[in-house]
Structure 1
């Protein structure tokens, strides 16, 4: 039976930029042009309230969406961070400066409609530290967003799904959703002592589940925060990608450091995702060299080829 839902027929090439942590250079902008992407998704942690890094990324001349991470409010969201703040918070609000620079491209607690791609990008909770407890940043969310609990956060994220204009929704968060596993090596697994436990965001998971329940196409959920290199062991990396029963691909893009330099070489990473007809057909982690050529490519997902039976 033919689906009556509008389909995104054009293959969409997406670059996902993992936790930047001050590693953004003019060559990165050139690299995105070289990669010929239709959309760039940033999962946050540009630096410790690194306004100039955000300014450079906001100036990119291509469709983009971003969610600010916990480091992007490092000196503003917690009491201990405010005590270490290197600038006068009475005279400057660097969190707001970042939000103003990104404008509509910041989809934390928001969404971005991309009609020429026939999709909506919905953001997760901005500035998230991960986990299921509404704890040391509670006053920050109350002051910034008038959101005072995990339940209120969940309701707000679900409202963005309800208001989405398109049948295809891509989700972007800083921390990923709860439900992807409790092992320390899981995409959002707790890898510090005591190790183990699901450190994903339950409000983000609820928004994704609602989109799936409403019959939306959800090809991709991407995030960072939990770095690929594990703290509790060095012999393997974190699980970077999983797929659920509905076919949604969950991609952790936090390959940190994202730029590695030597005396003669420079490698920078991007995650590349191709979406076609509302499905991810390929996802990979690529490293570009100093000439912006692809030096290596690790395929994390390739859609299985369905063979047709005859007879």
Structure 2
């Protein structure tokens, strides 16, 4: 039986988006220096990058993670299998990643944090996004899931099993409903332009939790990079908030490590959760001395917007 603690009045959360092999010991030291209570990873550690996942698994902080499409790059698709750099008959890098993360992997699952008074719920792992059910054999063989409906049922079971009424959702792709324009958090920014590339099963799971009366202060994800492919004059919209006061945060700031002649800066998205509400959200860059060299207030994007309705 879980010893349920009183909810922490203020939580500091770091969210790491779309690593793409850009992770090293400086990240571990920076997170410890930032004194965060919880670290969340939204996947795309690399193209089945077992060594990166091994390092992240060793992070000595409370954490939860989900896998992205690149984490099954040589396994889920026919074209990926043709390019596979290892013998798939004798090795399985996807399973190695899953085994390394162990209980930190919240794919189709949940992780309770009694010391923080929250439960992290994971969406569908290894997602490519969009309204089409893709790579049926992969999900059938790995998870026994054959459709969006069965995928949603797995997430609902995790929600029902949560020890806490405050839920944080982590997905690789965001939920359907945040892609009305190419520049939206989940909007398609490649040709043909437009189209919502969020996950409908993820959206339905969030809506289910909201209908149950759960507090859902934060839904975080990546996949759709902040730098747009079709235009260079602006960045993708990173945040939205619905009328249930749920903040939707895209953390895919890529590349997440920038090297110059004098410094090496790594980015993190920091979220302050106070009394079950997101009070602050910043994108920060931290250098090799663990100094924050740049800070961007992401909530400033919300000021001209009307709140969205809760996802349904």
> How much is the aligned-residue C-alpha RMSD, in angstroms?
1.3
Moved more, 174-183 or 70-79: 174-183
Cα distance per residue 1:258-297 (max 9 Å; x no partner): 0000222211100000111111110010011221100010
TM-score normalized by the length of structure 2: 0.93
Cα distance per residue 1:132-174 (max 9 Å; x no partner): 1002x11100000010111111121122111111010000000
Taking the TM superposition and a 5 Å limit, the aligned residue runs for 1:60-209 are 60-135=59-134, 137-209=135-207
Contact 1:8 1:276 in 2 (8 A): no
- d(CA) in 2 for partners of 1:188, 1:218: 19
- d(CA) in 2 for partners of 1:159, 1:133: 23
Contact 1:130 1:200 in 2 (8 A): yes
Paired position in structure 1 for 2:33: 34
- d(CA) in 2 for partners of 1:8, 1:174: 27
Paired position in structure 1 for 2:238: 240
Contact 2:8 2:116 in 1 (8 A): no
Unaligned runs of 5+ in 1: 1-5, 305-311
- d(CA) in 2 for partners of 1:8, 1:202: 30
Alpha-carbon shift at residue 7 of structure 1 (Å): 6.9
Paired position in structure 1 for 2:15: 16
- d(CA) in 2 for partners of 1:123, 1:92: 26
Number of aligned residue pairs: give it.
298
- d(CA) in 2 for partners of 1:150, 1:209: 15
Confirm whether residue 229 of structure 1 aligns to residue 227 of structure 2. yes
Paired position in structure 2 for 1:307: none
Alpha-carbon shift at residue 115 of structure 1 (Å): 1.0
Confirm whether residue 55 of structure 1 aligns to residue 44 of structure 2. no
- d(CA) in 2 for partners of 1:94, 1:252: 27
Paired position in structure 2 for 1:216: 214
Alpha-carbon shift at residue 9 of structure 1 (Å): 4.3
TM-score normalized by the length of structure 1: 0.94
- d(CA) in 1 for partners of 2:137, 2:291: 46
Contact 2:8 2:117 in 1 (8 A): no
- d(CA) in 2 for partners of 1:244, 1:208: 12
- d(CA) in 2 for partners of 1:112, 1:296: 32
Q: Secondary structure at the match of 1:301?
A: helix
- d(CA) in 1 for partners of 2:269, 2:236: 15
- d(CA) in 1 for partners of 2:102, 2:272: 26
- d(CA) in 1 for partners of 2:83, 2:8: 50
Unaligned runs of 5+ in 2: 304-312
Contact 1:180 1:188 in 2 (8 A): yes
Contact 1:19 1:44 in 2 (8 A): yes
Q: Secondary structure at the match of 2:141?
A: helix
Contact 2:127 2:172 in 1 (8 A): yes
Cα distance per residue 1:109-148 (max 9 Å; x no partner): 111011111110000100000011002x111000000101
- d(CA) in 2 for partners of 1:194, 1:181: 14
Alpha-carbon shift at residue 10 of structure 1 (Å): 2.1
- d(CA) in 1 for partners of 2:115, 2:170: 19
Alpha-carbon shift at residue 25 of structure 1 (Å): 0.9
